[in-house]
Amino acid sequence: MPTKPSKSILHYIFVAFCWLYAAFSLYPLIWMLFYSFKNNQEIFVTNPFGFPWPLHYENYITAWTKYDVPLYFLNSLIVSIGTVVITIFCALLFSYATSRMIWKGRHFTRLFLGLGMFIPVQAIMIPVVKVVQGFHLTGTRWSLIFPYVAINLAFACMVYYGFFRGIPRELEEAACMDGATIYQTFFQIIEPLVRPATVTLVIYIFLNAWNEFILANVLVGSIPTLKTLPLGVLFFQGEFTTDWGGMGATMVIASFPAILVYSFFSEQVENAMTIGGAVKG
Amino acid sequence: MKKYMGNKLAIFLFILPALAIFLIFDFIPILQVFAYSFTQWNGLTTPTFTGLENYFRLFQDRVFVTSNKNQLIFAILITVYQMLFATIFAITISDAKMKGRKFLRVAYFIPVILSVTVVCQLWSAILSGQGLLNKLFEAFGSDYTQNWLGDRYKAIYVIAFVNAWQWMGYQFALIVAGIKSISTDYYEAARIDGCTNAGAHRHITIPLLAETYKFCLVISLTGGIKAFTEMNILTGGGPNKSTYTLTYMMYNAAFKKSEYGYGLAAATVMVLECMIVMLVINFIFRDKDQRKEEERSRRKRHAD
């Protein structure tokens, strides 16, 4: 990067602006964290902006016991993990077959699945609801998992394809000589080689599924026992809410796993989220 | 070996799960969107074919015009906001000597990993009549307080801002990754030639980020066309249908009025708009590459 001994005034203006915007980006979230520890009186009258004192941690107990938050949390967790596992499994197998195995139509099949990148989720919500009803999946968590897998597959296959292409042919030849079946070769030799891609994809797909709203809204929005956290948060919709502290606590709980993942794997998360830049354009 | 890697049964078993799920839950649905947009369908009985009737009705609908206008405002606002700020921050932070770079990156990126419903709920709390923003104005003794989402002329801008605020960090991360991939040799050469910092960024960084910008443009412009969630949560399309988009029209027609065919016609138009935008962006950027290529070959000929 270019560095000169004397920095212009413009540079300092930009740096100051960077910090100002960081505050603008973070303060709403900190405010949310603060008001999750306040009661209504403090939020609206005595202390709308600052640090909460005394801490009304009972908001979290209320959220956890009164508002079905554990149920939403469990639903989100099951759906997200299910989506991750099935997507990774399907994408691994599919990309292996289309990138390294030899058969007619492999390029066409791969490109066909790649079309999934250009299908907007917003457009397909009506038919997906009908398909889910047609398979009698309504009322189960599968009604969310299968559509989530479908919308994540194209991207996962694209990423795996790039990784599989970089593996030397000799590995499979050697395995073949040694008498391993194609299944053994794949699961014991090839799959471990693409673990870095798997890690990236696990994070990416997990966050996608954890935060998904559009399909969840139409698929399980009216089924209280199956709601995921993004839907649970909307329970407090509008200005008719009376318990703001409880709402703040629910939102903090809903965001916590994503922030936890991000704080442990910040580099991988940023890579995972922006890896699309290389493929999607 | 060829037989080993061409094991028909294995290939079939390997591609089957992915292909089946993709076909059933993604590909056939999008075909159904197109097909049923030519029918009248209440979602329960068999659809009846009505030709282009839904489309004629759609193009005469006043909400259709509002929706397209809103999508355009949304798309332009988030594109300008995100690309402008993301570029400024990414370039400023690319200076390795700057303090607190890591912290700034996290600060910009955190909204991206939050659920869109949390972000919308949070901003609806900030923007409501009793909310944080009005409190802030009160604290400074200003009487500029208002219900920010209740004004039919302003609501769409406020909604677009919420989206831009959440996703700025995404484009920021993309541009940071783009800058990282530029060789430092270029800047070295520029410095030797006596180029200023600003000049180096103007003539090296930004032109070399063309591919990144192309992607940023695609996601924010199509993001504007597809806008739905923010409207759904923050205003419910209101006040007085002033924040509708095509997706919201579809949602409303299908799930509130059971006019599935009509809703799917709106969805089809939305998908077509996305495709046109992508084609146009690809055309503009390819055009530049081609022009450079042509320029180069012309110069070569002159040199000969």
User: Residue A106's domain is classified under what CATH number?
Assistant: 1.10.3720.10
Looking at A38, A58, A78, which one is the last position of a domain?
A58
Q: Which of residues 122-181 of B touch A (CB under 8 A)?
A: 122-126, 128-130, 132, 135-136, 139, 165, 168-170, 173-174, 177-178
Distance from CA of B298 to the nearest CA of A (A): 29
Task: Indicate the average pLDDT of chain A.
Answer: 86
Closest chain A residue to the Cα of B125, Cα to Cα: A239
- Give B273's contacts (C-beta < 8 A, 6+ positions apart): B71, B225, B246
Residues B157 and B243 sit within 8 Å (Cβ to Cβ):
no
Q: Is residue A132 included in any domain, yes or no?
A: yes
Residues B243 and B230 sit within 8 Å (Cβ to Cβ):
no
Q: Is residue A146 included in any domain, yes or no?
A: yes
Which among B11, B26, B125 has the least Cβ separation from residue A124?
A: B26
Crossing angle of the two packed helices A266-274 and A244-264, in degrees rounded to 10: 90
For residue A173, the chain B residues in CB contact (below 8 A) are 1
How many domains does chain A divide into? 2
Helix (H) or strand (E) holding B264: helix B260-303
Q: What percent of chain A has pLDDT over 70?
A: 93
CATH of B65-294 given 1.10.10.10, 1.10.3720.10, 1.20.1340.10, 3.90.1150.10: 1.10.3720.10
Q: Is residue A1 included in any domain, yes or no?
A: no
Helices (H), B47-61: 53-60
Q: What is the pLDDT of residues A180-233, one digit of tens each?
A: 888 999 999 999 999 988 988 998 899 899 999 999 999 998 888 899 999 988
Could you tell me the mean pLDDT of each successive run of 10 residues in chain B, 304 residues long?
Answer: 82 93 94 91 84 89 91 94 93 84 90 91 84 79 77 88 93 89 85 83 86 89 91 84 90 89 92 93 79 73 70
Which among A124, A207, A217 has the least Cβ separation from residue B29?
A: A124
Crossing angle of the two packed helices A142-165 and A106-114, in degrees rounded to 10: 130
Closest CA to B80 of B180, B224, B212: B224
Whether residue A123 and residue B267 make contact (CB cut-off 8 A), yes or no, is yes
Whether residue B228 and residue A122 make contact (CB cut-off 8 A), yes or no, is yes
Domain that holds residue A196: 61-279
Q: Are residues A212 and A262 in the same domain?
A: yes
b or e along A56-68 (b: 16 or more beta carbons within 10 Å of the residue's beta carbon)?
Answer: beebbebbbeebb
A164 contact B CB<8A: no
For residue B115, the chain A residues in CB contact (below 8 A) are 210-211, 213, 229-230, 233, 254-255, 258
Whether residue A3 and residue B95 make contact (CB cut-off 8 A), yes or no, is yes
pLDDT of residue B148: 81
**ipTM associated with this complex:** 0.87
10 Å Cβ neighbour count for A238?
11
The CA distance from A257 to A243, in Å, is 23
pLDDT at A280 over 60: no
Parallel, antiparallel, or unpaired for β B48-49 and B39-40?
Answer: antiparallel
pLDDT of residue B251: 92
The CA distance from B288 to B22, in Å, is 36
